């Protein structure tokens, strides 16, 4: 049973527009959430995180929103750039990040120039 779900396998966005990647989770014990970005032939790299005590965290063009009641988080990229084209993984952890990360299946973002 998937505890972290990314229901959109792919997303295509024009350069300069907003990219919104969604993630849902089922385990109410999750209290720390992360987004990783993965380019082909490279390992995942950390992008941004959010603790369950917050509902928003921003880092430059990247913002993560957390809706605990809906068990939903989203990653917003504004403005999108061609270099953002990659696979984005949502991951979650419990007990303030002291349990192994549980990853979603990923969403492949394509930013079209």
Residues at the site binding other proteins, with contacts judged by CB under 8 A = 4, 6, 32, 34, 36, 41-46, 49, 89, 91, 93, 97-106
Closest to other proteins by CB, 20 vs 101, is 101
Q: Kindly tell me the sign of the dihedral angle through the C-alpha atoms of 83, 84, 86, 89.
A: positive
Q: Give me the least distance between CB of 52 and other proteins, in Å please.
A: 14
Q: Give me the least distance between CB of 113 and other proteins, in Å please.
A: 27
Q: Give me the least distance between CB of 12 and other proteins, in Å please.
A: 18
Closest to other proteins by CB, 7 vs 14, is 7
Q: Give me the least distance between CB of 2 and other proteins, in Å please.
A: 9
Q: Are 19 and 111 in contact (CB under 8 A)?
A: yes
Vertex 54 angle, CA 20 and 93, to 5°: 80
Token couple for 113:
């120039």
The residue with tokens 């989203």 is 74
Closest to other proteins by CB, 43 vs 113, is 43
Contacts of 22 (CB under 8 A, 6+ apart): 6, 7, 8, 72, 73, 74, 107
Closest to other proteins by CB, 33 vs 84, is 33
């Amino acid at each position: 049973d998937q505890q972290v779900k990314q229901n959109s396998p792919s997303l295509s966005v024009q350069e300069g527009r907003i990219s919104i990647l969604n993630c849902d989770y089922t385990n109410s014990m999750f209290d720390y959430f992360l987004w990783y970005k993965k380019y082909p032939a490279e390992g995942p790299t950390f992008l941004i995180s959010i603790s369950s005590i917050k509902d928003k965290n921003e880092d430059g063009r990247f913002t993560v929103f957390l809706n605990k009641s809906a068990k939903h988080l989203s990653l917003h990229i504004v403005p999108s750039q061609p270099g953002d084209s990659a696979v984005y993984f949502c991951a979650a952890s419990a007990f303030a990040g002291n349990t192994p990360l549980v990853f979603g299946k990923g969403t492949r973002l394509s930013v079209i120039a």
